[in-house]
C-alpha cells in the first residue's frame, strides 16, 4: 500500500499531525515494533515514550529521534498492553506542543522454540523465521531464542521471502477443496495476494521480478503400473483388477506443474512434468509405490522447490521422488540439464554419483553454485549403512553444450538423531556460514561455520520443539529483521532548501528520488541519511526503494525563499512582515527566519529586503 504524505514546508496555521503505527488500540503479533508518526511543524526532532500505563509512570523507552520512525527491539513483550506518545523538540531539544498519544497490545506467543549460542562472534546477524506444517503456523526468533513474531491462529505456513520484507507461503483453509492456497502475506498476517485456487498449489510460491507470481501445482494423468515392483506390491495392484503390465495407462499418476499467474489471477505461463519428463523414470526404493496402492494415486515427481533465476532467465526445480534437480529455460520450457540419480531414460546429465535422495530446497549462489538438503531417505540403500543420513550440499555446476558438469564443493552430514525424512532446507548466509534445518530432533536449525580453525563447527542451534504428528518444520531462513526496508523524510525549519531522507530499515538500500522528470539515486546505509536539495517552488517528489517498488511514498515540499508570511508566494506582503521583524515589532519562528535570510548570511536585515525587492522586480 502506498501512503501519500503531504509535507507543507512551513505554515503559520495549526497543523494536526498523527501517529501512524502501531494503529490505535490494535493488537499486534510481534515484539519488535515499528513506531511511525507524521512530521510535526517546526520540529527539529521528537521525543518518544513507551509505557505500560496510561499515566506514563512506568516508562520503558524514552528516546529522542530525528527521523519519523523508531524500531523498538528490547522492551516489548507478549500479551501486554502498551501506551506510547510523541512530542516535538526544537533545535535545543526543548519540547514544545502537546503530546500525541496512542495505545496498542501484543498477542500471545505461539512457539516453544529455544536457541543455543555456541560462538557468539561467529553468528550471522539477524533473526530466524521458521514454519510448521500440521499445526500450521510460522514464527520468528532472535539469536537468543526469543519469539518476536508469529502468525497467530491464521494457519499461515511460511515458504520463502525475497529478503527485502516480502513473505510468501500457504494458508490452511479447510473449507476449500484446494485447502492450502499460496499467498503473499504481510507482517500483520494480512493477505496481499492469493492465487486463484483452481488447482492444488503446494510447497513453493513467490513473486517474480515482472510482478507476476509463480507456484507449484499438482498435475494429473493416468500412467502404467511398472512390472519391476516387488512381488507383493505388484500382486496387490493385480488383485485390484489392474493389468500392472508396465504398458497400460490405467492408474492415476500425480505430477507437477509450474504456474505463472498475472496479478489479476489469470494464467500467464506453465510447465508440466508430464510434458517434459520420461514416465520410465520413477522411484523403486523409497516406498512410493506402496503409498500409491494405499492412496489410490502414484505421487510420481513430488516436486518441493522452485527457484527463478532472473539473470539466467531459468527455473530450477527439485523433484523429491525422482531425487533430481532440473534446470529449465524460461520461457521456452526446454530442459537445460538434469542432475541426480541415474534412471532408465538416461536423461541425467551430471551428478549421477552424488547420491542425494528425496532432497528439499534450492538456493543458487552468485557464483552459480546450488545448495540443497539431501534428506537421504534411501541413503541406507545407496551407501549400505545401518541408518539414513541427511546432508547439506553445495554443488558447483557448469552448463555445457550437452548438459552439465558438477561437483560437490561442500557437504555436512547431520548426526543420526537429526535425520530429516521430510522438508527442511539449507541457506548460505552472508558471513559464509550455512543454516541447515531438519525435522530431526523435534525440528532443528544448525548454523555451521565451514571454514577456519573450527571448520564444520556449530556456532548456533535453534530447537523448535515440533514433532510428528502434531508439527513438522518446513523451512527456516535467517533474515535481517522484521523491517529490512523502511524510510522517512523530514524537513527542518532552519534549512528550507533541502529535506533529509532517512534509511530507517535494517539493510542498506538504494533510493530513487523522482522530482517529476529528473531522478536521482542515493545509496543510504542502514540508520543513516542524505540531505537532498529542493528546487524553487512546490516540489512533488516520489521516493522509491530499489528492492521494494511497492513501498513508494509521495511527498510535497515547498521552497520559496523570501516567503516570510508562509503563503507559498513572495511579494510585498512578505516585505512588510520582514521589516516588522527587523524593527522588533514581531517575532519569527525558525522557518520564517530561514526563509527571510534571502542572501544566506545568517542575519535578517535590510540587505535581505533589498535582495527580495530585486527578485520580485525581476520575477
Whether residue 135 is found in the same domain as residue 174: yes
Q: Which of 427, 456, 479 is the last residue of a domain?
A: 479
Q: What is the pLDDT of residues 114-167, one digit of tens each?
A: 999 999 999 999 999 999 999 999 999 999 999 999 999 999 999 999 999 999
Q: Mean pLDDT for the chain?
A: 94
Whether residue 164 is found in the same domain as residue 276: yes
For position 14, what pLDDT does the model report?
A: 37
DSSP one-letter string for 171-194 = E--TTSSS-S-EEEE-TT--EEEE
Whether residue 228 is found in the same domain as residue 96: no
Which phi-psi region, left, alpha or beta, contains residue 418 (left: φ > 0; alpha: ψ -120 to 50)?
A: alpha
Q: What is the pLDDT of residues 317-347, one digit of tens each?
A: 999 999 999 999 999 999 999 999 999 999 9
Q: What is the pLDDT of residues 34-65, one digit of tens each?
A: 999 999 989 999 999 999 999 999 999 999 99
- Assigned C-alpha cell, 57: 509512570
Give per-residue burial for 333-342: e unless 16+ CB within 10 Å, then b.
eebbbbbbbe
Who's near 605: CB < 8 A, 6+ residues apart?
Answer: 582
For position 273, what pLDDT does the model report?
A: 98
Whether residue 448 is found in the same domain as residue 585: no
Q: Is residue 424 part of a domain?
A: yes
Whether residue 410 is found in the same domain as residue 433: yes
Whether residue 61 is found in the same domain as residue 154: no
Q: Is residue 487 part of a domain?
A: no
For 505, counting Cβ atoms within 10 Å of its Cβ (0-12 exposed, 13-18 middle, 19+ buried), the class is: buried
CATH at residue 27: 2.60.40.10
Q: Does residue 89 surpass a pLDDT of 50?
A: yes
Q: Is residue 523 part of a domain?
A: no
For position 454, what pLDDT does the model report?
A: 67
Whether residue 78 is found in the same domain as residue 124: no
- Domains identified in the chain, total number: 3
Q: Does residue 470 surpass a pLDDT of 80?
A: no
Q: Is residue 402 part of a domain?
A: yes
In the 3-class helix/strand/coil scheme, how is 232-290 assigned residue by residue? HHHHHHHHCCCCCCCCCCCEEEEEEEEEEECCCCCEEEEEEHHHHCCCCCCCCCCCHHH
Whether residue 98 is found in the same domain as residue 157: no
Q: Which helix (H) or strand (E) holds 20?
A: strand 19-21
Q: What is the pLDDT of residues 276-326, one digit of tens each?
A: 999 999 999 999 999 999 999 999 999 999 999 999 999 999 999 999 999
Q: Is residue 306 part of a domain?
A: yes
Q: Which of 51, 76, 108 is the last residue of a domain?
A: 108
Q: Provide the pLDDT confidence category of residue 517 given band limits of 50, 70 and 90.
A: confident
Q: Is residue 495 part of a domain?
A: no
Q: Which of 439, 455, 479 is the last residue of a domain?
A: 479
Q: Is residue 555 part of a domain?
A: no
Mean pLDDT of 528-549: 96
Q: What is the pLDDT of residues 475-496, one digit of tens each?
A: 999 999 999 999 999 999 989 9
Q: What is the pLDDT of residues 220-276, one digit of tens each?
A: 999 999 999 999 999 999 999 999 999 999 999 999 999 999 999 999 999 999 999
Mean pLDDT of 88-111: 95
Q: At what angle do helices 572-582 and 606-617 cross, to 10 degrees?
A: 180
Whether residue 62 is found in the same domain as residue 122: no
Whether residue 66 is found in the same domain as residue 147: no
Give the E-state strand segments of 485-613 in sequence order: 487-490, 498-503, 509-514, 519-524, 529-533, 537-545, 553-559
Nearest to 485 by CA among 192, 166, 51, 45: 166
For position 469, what pLDDT does the model report?
A: 79
CATH at residue 138: 2.120.10.30
Nearest to 247 by CA among 278, 226, 273: 226
Q: CA angle, 360 as apex, 359 and 366 as ends, to 5°?
A: 105
Write down the H helix ranges in 90-162.
none
Which DSSP state fits 418?
G
Strand 298-299 and strand 251-261: the pairing is parallel
Whether residue 300 is found in the same domain as residue 436: yes
What does the alpha-carbon distance between residue 496 and residue 590 come to, in Å, rounded to a whole number? 10
Question: Is the distance from CB of 459 to CB of 119 less than 8 angstroms?
Answer: yes
Nearest to 304 by CA among 424, 435, 469: 424
For position 13, what pLDDT does the model report?
A: 35
Nearest to 445 by CA among 432, 458, 456: 458
Question: Is the distance from CB of 115 to CB of 462 less than 8 angstroms?
Answer: yes
Percent of the chain residues topping a pLDDT of 90: 90
Whether residue 577 is found in the same domain as residue 435: no
Q: Is residue 130 part of a domain?
A: yes
The residue segments making up the domain with residue 59 are 17-108
Q: What is the pLDDT of residues 388-401, one digit of tens each?
A: 999 999 999 999 99
Amino acid at each position: 500500500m502506498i501512503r501519500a504524505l503531504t509535507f507543507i514546508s512551513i505554515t503559520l496555521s495549526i497543523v494536526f499531525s498523527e501517529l501512524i503505527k502501531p494503529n490505535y488500540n490494535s493488537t499486534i503479533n510481534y515484539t519488535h515494533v515499528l513506531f511511525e508518526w507524521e512530521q510535526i511543524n517546526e520540529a527539529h526532532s521528537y521525543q518518544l515514550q513507551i509505557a505500560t500505563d496510561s499515566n506514563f509512570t512506568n516508562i520503558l523507552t524514552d528516546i529522542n529521534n530525528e527521523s519519523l520512525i523508531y524500531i523498538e527491539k528490547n522492551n516489548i513483550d507478549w500479551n501486554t498492553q502498551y501506551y506510547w506518545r510523541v512530542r516535538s523538540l526544537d533545535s535545543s531539544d526543548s519540547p514544545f506542543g502537546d503530546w500525541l498519544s496512542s495505545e496498542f497490545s501484543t498477542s500471545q506467543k505461539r512457539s516453544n522454540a529455544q536457541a543455543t549460542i555456541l560462538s557468539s562472534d561467529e553468528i550471522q546477524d539477524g533473526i530466524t523465521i521458521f514454519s510448521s506444517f500440521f499445526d500450521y503456523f510460522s514464527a520468528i526468533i532472535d539469536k537468543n531464542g526469543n519469539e518476536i513474531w508469529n502468525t497467530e491462529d491464521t494457519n499461515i505456513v511460511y515458504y520463502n521471502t525475497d529478503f527485502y520484507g516480502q513473505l510468501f507461503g500457504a494458508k490452511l483453509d479447510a473449507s476449500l477443496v484446494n485447502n492450502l492456497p499460496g499467498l503473499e502475506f504481510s507482517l500483520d498476517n494480512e493477505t496481499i495476494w492469493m492465487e486463484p485456487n483452481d488447482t492444488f498449489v503446494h510447497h513453493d510460491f513467490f513473486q517474480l521480478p515482472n510482478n507476476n507470481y509463480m507456484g507449484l501445482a499438482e498435475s494429473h494423468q493416468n500412467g502404467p503400473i511398472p512390472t519391476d515392483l516387488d512381488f507383493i506390491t505388484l500382486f496387490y495392484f493385480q488383485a485390484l483388477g489392474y493389468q500392472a503390465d508396465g504398458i497400460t495407462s490405467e492408474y492415476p499418476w500425480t505430477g507437477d506443474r509450474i504456474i505463472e499467474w498475472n496479478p489479476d489471477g489469470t494464467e500467464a505461463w506453465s510447465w508440466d512434468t508430464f510434458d517434459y519428463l520420461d514416465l520410465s523414470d520413477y522411484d523403486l526404493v523409497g516406498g512410493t509405490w506402496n503409498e500409491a496402492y494405499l492412496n489410490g494415486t502414484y505421487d510420481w515427481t513430488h516436486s518441493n522447490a522452485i527457484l527463478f533465476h532472473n539473470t539466467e532467465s531459468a527455473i530450477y526445480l527439485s523433484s523429491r521422488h525422482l531425487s533430481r534437480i532440473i534446470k529449465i529455460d524460461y520461457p521456452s520450457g526446454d530442459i537445460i540439464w538434469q542432475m541426480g540419480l541415474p534412471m532408465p531414460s538416461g536423461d541425467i546429465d551430471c551428478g549421477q554419483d552424488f547420491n542425494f535422495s528425496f532432497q528439499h530446497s534450492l538456493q543458487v549462489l552468485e557464483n552459480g553454485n546450488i545448495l540443497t538438503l539431501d534428506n537421504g531417505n534411501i541413503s541406507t540403500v545407496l551407501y549400505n549403512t545401518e541408518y539414513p543420513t541427511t546432508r547439506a550440499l553445495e554443488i558447483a555446476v557448469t552448463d555445457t553444450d550437452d548438459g552439465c558438469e558438477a561437483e560437490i564443493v561442500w557437504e555436512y552430514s547431520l548426526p543420526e538423531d537429526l535425520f530429516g525424512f521430510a522438508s527442511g532446507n539449507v541457506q548460505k548466509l552472508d558471513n559464509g556460514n550455512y543454516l541447515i534445518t531438519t525435522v530431526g530432533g523435534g525440528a532443528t536449525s544448525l548454523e555451521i561455520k565451514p571454514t577456519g580453525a573450527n571448520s564444520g563447527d556449530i556456532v548456533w542451534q535453534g530447537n523448535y520443539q515440533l514433532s510428528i504428528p502434531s508439527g513438522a518444520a518446513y523451512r527456516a531462513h535467517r533474515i535481517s529483521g522484521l523491517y529490512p526496508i523502511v524510510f522517512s523524510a523530514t524537513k527542518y525549519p532552519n534549512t528550507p532548501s533541502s529535506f533529509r531522507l532517512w534509511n530507517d530499515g535494517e539493510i542498506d538500500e538504494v533510493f530513487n528520488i523522482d522530482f517529476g522528470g529528473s531522478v536521482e539515486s542515493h545509496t543510504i546505509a542502514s540508520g543513516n541519511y542524505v540531505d537532498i536539495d529542493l528546487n524553487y517552488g512546490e516540489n512533488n517528489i516520489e521516493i522509491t526503494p530499489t528492492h521494494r517498488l511497492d513501498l513508494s511514498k509521495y511527498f510535497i515540499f515547498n521552497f520559496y525563499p523570501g516567503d516570510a508570511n508562509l503563503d507559498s508566494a513572495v511579494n510585498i506582503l512578505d516585505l512588510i512582515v520582514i521589516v516588522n521583524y527587523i524593527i522588533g515589532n514581531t517575532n519569527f519562528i525558525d522557518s520564517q527566519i530561514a526563509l527571510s535570510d534571502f542572501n544566506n548570511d545568517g542575519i535578517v536585515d535590510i540587505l535581505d529586503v533589498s535582495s527580495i525587492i530585486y527578485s520580485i522586480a525581476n520575477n
